[in-house]
Amino acid sequence: MGPPVIRWAVFAACALAWEALSRSAGNRFFPPPSQIAARMYEMWFSGPYILTDQAIEHFAPSLGRLAAGLAGAVVAGVVLGFVLGRSEKARAYADPVLQLFRAVPPPLLVPVFIVLLSVGTQMQLATIAFATLWPILLNTADGVKGVDRQHLETAQVFRLTAVQRLWRVLVPSALPKVFAGLRLSMSVALILMVFAELMPGSSNGIGYLLQDAYAVGDLPRMWSAVVLIGVLGYALNAVLLAVQRRVLAWQGG
């Protein structure tokens, strides 16, 4: 990636081009960024403490669902990934099931989750967790499987216990792959969070806000939600990258 100044200059150029094209076209379906930004500020960032009541009402549930669904996927994916990564037989037995479920688009399972869990928060969390599980699980298993055998042999020579080998050898060696899976799952979780909130029965969240704005024909409000989702994705990825750099500082990356 280029220097931050260049990257933000490219972003500004794209925004100005969008502004010019939208104003010249005069198409109500594609409002200019200045109008979208003004609407975003009015709806969500003009409260007494920055955020408005509407923002708190919709942002907090969305972020809560995203965090809870992703956390469940991380716990299950890392634990199962370590088990599969350490056992060749377990990988061989589980591989057909893993490949089958990984290939199923999560939105197709929403009707199943609705039947099992009914419409509501449980269904939304299940959708997010199911979609984000596989990148974490498969990357973790790959990272554990790829641990240098010499490192494990050295740990045996020094008579490290199983727990010590786990924390001093396996976890540090697998962390880069775990973070790679987590970054991929983060973007998937954001998409599925919005998708789950578009389902009938939702009463709050950014996805619900997007659907409601579309239903009433409030296009600036709809585009505000779309831009907000993009900004949220960028911010979450930046935070995760910062955590990754800190955790893997010993690796120089």
Three-state SS string over 103-129 comes to: HCCHHHHHHHHHHHHCCCHHHHHHHHH
State the number of CA atoms in the 13 A half-sphere of 75 facing the CB: 6
pLDDT at 252: 55
Q: What whole-number distance in Å separates Cα of residue 227 and Cα of residue 205?
A: 15
pLDDT at 253: 45
Q: What whole-number distance in Å separates Cα of residue 153 and Cα of residue 160?
A: 10
Nearest CA to 78 among 88, 70, 90? 70
Sign of CA pseudo-dihedral 15, 20, 21, 26:
positive
Point out which residues pair with 47 in neighbouring strands.
Answer: 50
pLDDT at 186: 92
Cβ(7)–Cβ(1) under 8 Å? yes
Radius of gyration of the chain (CA): 22
Residue-level pLDDT, tens digit, the chain, 253 residues: 557 788 888 888 998 998 899 888 888 888 899 999 999 899 888 888 888 888 888 888 999 999 999 999 999 999 999 999 888 888 888 888 888 888 888 777 777 888 888 777 888 888 899 889 999 999 999 988 887 777 777 777 777 777 887 788 888 888 999 999 999 999 889 988 888 888 877 888 898 988 888 888 888 889 999 998 999 999 999 999 999 998 887 765 4
pLDDT at 144: 87
pLDDT at 201: 75
Q: What whole-number distance in Å separates Cα of residue 77 and Cα of residue 129?
A: 10
pLDDT at 8: 84
